[in-house]
Amino acid sequence: MPEPHQCAVRVRLLGPFYLERDGEELHLRAWKSRKALTLFKYLVSRRGQRVPKDVLIELLWPEIDDPEKGSHNLHTVVYFLRQLIEPGSRANGPSPRRPVFIQHSAGLYWFETGDGCWVDIEQFERLCREAQEAEGRDDEKACRLYRQALSLYRGDFCPEDAYQDWAAGPREHFLELYFGAVLRASSLMVRLHNDYTGSISLCRAALKRDPCREELHQAVIAYLIRAGRYGEAAVQYRQCARLLYEEFGLYPSPETQALYEKMKRLASAGKSRQPPRLSLSRQARHALPRH
């Protein structure tokens, strides 16, 4: 896939929508048709997937019962969309080299990226896939690719369409990829470079997107324990337990509880062997659950 600066069209769907054509950002005010914007996001999110026109008509005009009217509306929106997004559309006269990203054939429509278009979700998936393939063979490369993928994740998929049914599937898909990349990258950062601080920061940033994600809490607790920061590990455990109970009425999983018990044993052993300055702080002692 070409680099962003080499492409005439750049699209970002992770975080607030962004579209650049011929080196200039197309602001939302340029989209005189909300239907065209929705159609564009929908097709890009399913890039290459051929979508029947009936599906698109139902998406954009669910109230229309007349197939002929629906087809006419769709053709009009597609025409407007092509005029707006395709490079060279402001030039006078047709251009034989002008790429056509919105394709259709036999009643099917799809978005063709090609060499002239860069899409963040496509790059994000590719980097995650290549990182997974590199693990075990070249862990340094895998770690680097995961970090590159995470740099593309500016936010959840199309947050401005949070309540649109069509966006729910892609949003969940990319969010799961993001959490997986965070966990794998943090694990590699610790194993390769003993970078506990960076790994903890990475996981805590992900927890801001889903504070009840228990595997992220587990990772943070484990890294804090390995770094000898037992008081912080106790606070993290209590935070996890509180959030799970308040949100779902659940207690931490046996795996999380086992980490907590391990932390208590190590903290107790450290207190008996080390000078008083290494014992748990008063704040951390108050943070420990009472049984």
Residues 217 and 113 in one domain: no
Write the pLDDT tens digit of every residue in 182-212. 999 999 999 999 999 999 999 999 999 999 9
Q: Token pair 């992770």 is at which residue?
A: 14
Asked whether residue 18 falls in the same domain as residue 114, the answer is yes
Pair 36, 81: CB distance under 8 Å: yes
Q: Is 105 part of a structural domain of the chain?
A: yes
What the block records as the tokens of 10 is 């750049």
Q: Is 278 a residue whose pLDDT tops 70? A: no
| Residue 279 confidence (pLDDT) | 42
Percent of the chain's residues with pLDDT above 70: 86
Residue 11, H or E segment: strand 9-12
Cα of 69 vs its chain's centroid, Å: 37
More confident residue, 270 or 39: 39
User: For residue range 83-134, what is the model confidence (pLDDT) as tens digits?
Assistant: 888 755 544 444 445 556 888 999 999 998 777 789 999 999 999 999 999 9
Would you say residue 284 lies in a domain?
Answer: yes
DSSP, collapsed to helix, strand or coil, labels residue 197 as: helix
17 and 105 co-located in one domain: yes
Per-residue pLDDT, averaged over 68-77, amounts to 94
pLDDT category at 32 given cuts 50, 70, 90 is: confident
Instruction: Quote the pLDDT of residue 7.
Output: 75
The predicted structure's pLDDT at residue 87: 58
Tell me if 70 is assigned to some domain.
Answer: yes
186 inside domain:
no
pLDDT band at residue 291 using 50, 70 and 90 as cut-offs:
very low
Same domain? 14 vs 105 = yes
Looking up residue 14, the CATH number of its domain turns out to be 1.10.10.10
Helix, strand, coil distribution of the chain in percent, nearest 5: 60, 10, 30
Range of the domain at 252: 196-291
* Strand runs labelled E in 35-160: 51-52, 102-105, 108-111, 117-119
Assess if residue 249 is contained within a domain.
Answer: yes
pLDDT at 219: 98
Same domain, residue pair 104 and 209: no
For residues 8 and 87, the answer to whether their CB atoms sit within 8 Å is yes
Residues 104 and 204 in one domain: no
Quick check: 266 and 225 in contact, CB under 8 A? yes
* Domain-embedded: residue 43: yes
Total structural domains within the chain: 2
Least confident stretch, 28-37, 137-146, 270-279 = 270-279
Whether residue 230 is contained in a domain is answered as: yes
Is position 172 within any domain? no
Q: What is the CATH number of the domain that holds 236?
A: 1.25.40.10
